[in-house]
Structure 1
Amino acid sequence: MEKYFEIFKNSYHGYFNYLWKEITYFHWENYFYGLILVSLIVWGLELLFPWRKDQKVFRKDFWLDTFYMFFNFFLLNLIVLIFLSNATAELFNDVLSLLGLKLANFQLLDLDALPFGLGLLIFFLITDFVQWNTHRLLHYSPFLWNFHKLHHSVKEMGFAAHLRYHWMEPIVYKSILYIPLAIIGGFNVESVAIVHFSALAIGHLNHANLGWDYGFLKYFFNNPKMHIWHHAKVLPKHAQYGVNFGISLSVWDYLFKTNHIPHDGRDIELGFDGDEKFPDDFVRQTLYPVKTKERKIS
């Protein structure tokens, strides 16, 4: 237990110093100013090329979503995720040691041994595919769906809706992603930063008030015209658990037949069945999965 207490202490101390450095020192892989820059660019595109022209500049829940954006991107890491991530890694290594194994025994691929571009592509594809499956799990599991409802409570889409989600979600994503990433060791800070900012930009665009589908690239990259159907309140009868689960890439949905774009979805109603009873403030939204006993997936 003493070892895990040290992990707890060092995680918070280290991340606080990291966050302070992010705010006070600008560098190319700076996540704090990177988030601000990407957000301003995509928001500017919304204002220049609005899909729903009658949607206000400061749409419904704009400021709530902006709070979620910074809370989930930075404060959540400070409060919960850094310690959990470090502790999970250490626990996994401890379990392997008890079995007389090492993490290196499970490494199927060393990305450092590959050309940078190829290694980066493999890292991006594996990460996105695991996250696509995790996203499906959030819809198919009644327990996890109660947490994921927060993201689907968005009634007017805009870039900041991308990061409106419950703090439990990244715990699920990171836990499931840990082992696949562990067996493809060798990804460096530069690779992580490129994939991270690519996913951030694509995610912002997917939720933005933009009527783009990228032409033939729509079969590879998720896009606003596709993702809005993921947030549709009325789902097709054959897909009541959801459609269009893509995070950055749409190709998984086309490959596994979960794609659904029946027509231009510009003005469809967003949300889920019963969303009129969903709380409209941060505290009650955070507590909702604990208080509710509802198990139905809508």
Structure 2
Amino acid sequence: MEKYLDIIKNAYSGYWNYLKHEILFPNHWENYFYGLIAISLIVWLLEIIVPWRKNQSAFRKDFWLDTFYMFFNFFLLNLIVFIALSNSAAEFFNDILSIIGLKLADLELFDVDALPKWLGLFIFFIVSDFVQWNTHRLLHRFEFLWNFHKVHHSVKEMGFAAHLRYHWMEPVLYKSLLYIPIAIIGGFDAQDVAIVHFFNISIGHLNHANLGWDYGYLKYIFNNPKMHIWHHVKQLPEGERFGVNFGLTLSIWDYLFKTDYIPHDGRDIELGFEGDEHFPTDFVSQELYPIIQKKNKTKKT
């Protein structure tokens, strides 16, 4: 137990020092703090210059709420819980493996350092995106998880910052399910991961932006605003109880597994979910929503 307490303590102090350094001394290109700001400003500028929905304000509904979510989920969440939880979970997993005489390194299928850098990054990108696509489907399929995911689907007007409006439990699930596959692939340098991470953020921002793009033939590979808006449609198509278009960065998984759905130009479709008129509209209430729902369900039963 003392070992885990030390891990948590070191995680807090280590990430706090890292975050301060990122903000005060931005001396490297893979700076996540200013990288997120730069990507956000570029996509927001595109929304202003070439908006898809002409009547939607640049400061759309919930613009500031989503902006807060963006920085909270990307930085403060790590400081409050996620880094400590991730480090503790990784150590716990290693301890479990040691019981059966294994180490994390024993699970690696190949040494990524022995591959050309571009190939290693490509494998990392494909595997992580596929795992996250499946995780996204789970968030829609199970009511317990859906109550967390409703926070993201409470967006009523799409814009770039809606990308990072999600409940803090979501990255816990995503990272947990991603941990073993990435461990099997092997380790990567921070700079290499940053390349993939910034690319994913850029595509995610564009997917949620007020932009009428589908990238032509590349729409069958990359998720895009015209495809992703149907993922947020309030009235799901008949026979699609759990949703459509689950792709994060890549759309190819939806086309391969027949979960794609783009019946027509979705520029003005109503967004949300059934009953969203009763969903809370402030940050604290949205974060507490899954807990309150569970308590109410328990009382009814």
The TM-score normalised by the length of structure 1 is 0.98
Structure 1 runs (4+) greater than 6 angstroms displaced: none
Q: Secondary structure at 1:239's aligned position in 2? A: coil
Per the alignment, residue 200 of structure 1 pairs with: 201
* Pair 1:22 & 2:22 matched: yes
Aligned counterparts of 1:117 and 1:106: Cα–Cα separation in 2: 22
Segments of structure 2 that go 5 or more residues without pairing to the other structure are none
Q: Secondary structure at 2:272's aligned position in 1? A: coil
- The share of aligned pairs that are identical, in percent, is 73
Per the alignment, residue 44 of structure 2 pairs with: 43
Per the alignment, residue 122 of structure 2 pairs with: 121
Aligned counterparts of 2:16 and 2:117: Cα–Cα separation in 1: 31
Aligned counterparts of 1:129 and 1:236: Cα–Cα separation in 2: 24
CA deviation after TM superposition for structure 1 residue 141, in Å:
1.1
Superposed CA RMSD in Å reads 0.9
* Pair 1:140 & 2:125 matched: no
Aligned counterparts of 1:190 and 1:77: Cα–Cα separation in 2: 19
1:125-177 alpha-carbon deviations (Å, 9 max, x no partner): 00100000000000001100000000000000000000000000000001000
Aligned counterparts of 1:111 and 1:214: Cα–Cα separation in 2: 31
Per the alignment, residue 241 of structure 2 pairs with: 240
- Opposite residue 179 of structure 2, the aligned amino acid is Y
What pairs up with 1:223-262 in 2 under 5 angstroms? Answer: 223-262=224-263
* Pair 1:157 & 2:158 matched: yes
Segments of structure 1 that go 5 or more residues without pairing to the other structure are none
- Opposite residue 234 of structure 1, the aligned amino acid is Q
Per the alignment, residue 274 of structure 2 pairs with: 273
Aligned counterparts of 1:42 and 1:13: Cα–Cα separation in 2: 33
- Opposite residue 4 of structure 1, the aligned amino acid is Y
Aligned counterparts of 1:186 and 1:82: Cα–Cα separation in 2: 18
Count of aligned pairs between the two proteins: 295
CA deviation after TM superposition for structure 1 residue 186, in Å:
2.8
Aligned counterparts of 1:140 and 1:3: Cα–Cα separation in 2: 37
1:43-84 alpha-carbon deviations (Å, 9 max, x no partner): 000001100000011000000000000000000000010011
- Opposite residue 16 of structure 1, the aligned amino acid is W
- Opposite residue 240 of structure 2, the aligned amino acid is A
Per the alignment, residue 92 of structure 2 pairs with: 91
Aligned counterparts of 1:233 and 1:110: Cα–Cα separation in 2: 45
Aligned counterparts of 1:186 and 1:89: Cα–Cα separation in 2: 14
Aligned counterparts of 1:243 and 1:65: Cα–Cα separation in 2: 23
The TM-score normalised by the length of structure 2 is 0.97
Aligned counterparts of 1:218 and 1:179: Cα–Cα separation in 2: 30
Q: Secondary structure at 2:58's aligned position in 1? A: coil
Per the alignment, residue 175 of structure 2 pairs with: 174
Aligned counterparts of 2:60 and 2:129: Cα–Cα separation in 1: 29
Farther-moved stretch of structure 1 (248-257 vs 108-117): 108-117
Q: Secondary structure at 2:7's aligned position in 1? A: helix
Per the alignment, residue 5 of structure 1 pairs with: 5
Per the alignment, residue 214 of structure 2 pairs with: 213
CA deviation after TM superposition for structure 1 residue 99, in Å:
1.1
What pairs up with 1:69-84 in 2 under 5 angstroms? Answer: 69-84=70-85
- Opposite residue 10 of structure 1, the aligned amino acid is N
Aligned counterparts of 2:104 and 2:97: Cα–Cα separation in 1: 7
Q: Secondary structure at 1:292's aligned position in 2? A: helix
Q: Secondary structure at 1:147's aligned position in 2? A: helix
- Opposite residue 191 of structure 2, the aligned amino acid is E
- Opposite residue 37 of structure 2, the aligned amino acid is I
Aligned counterparts of 2:128 and 2:196: Cα–Cα separation in 1: 9
- Opposite residue 233 of structure 2, the aligned amino acid is A
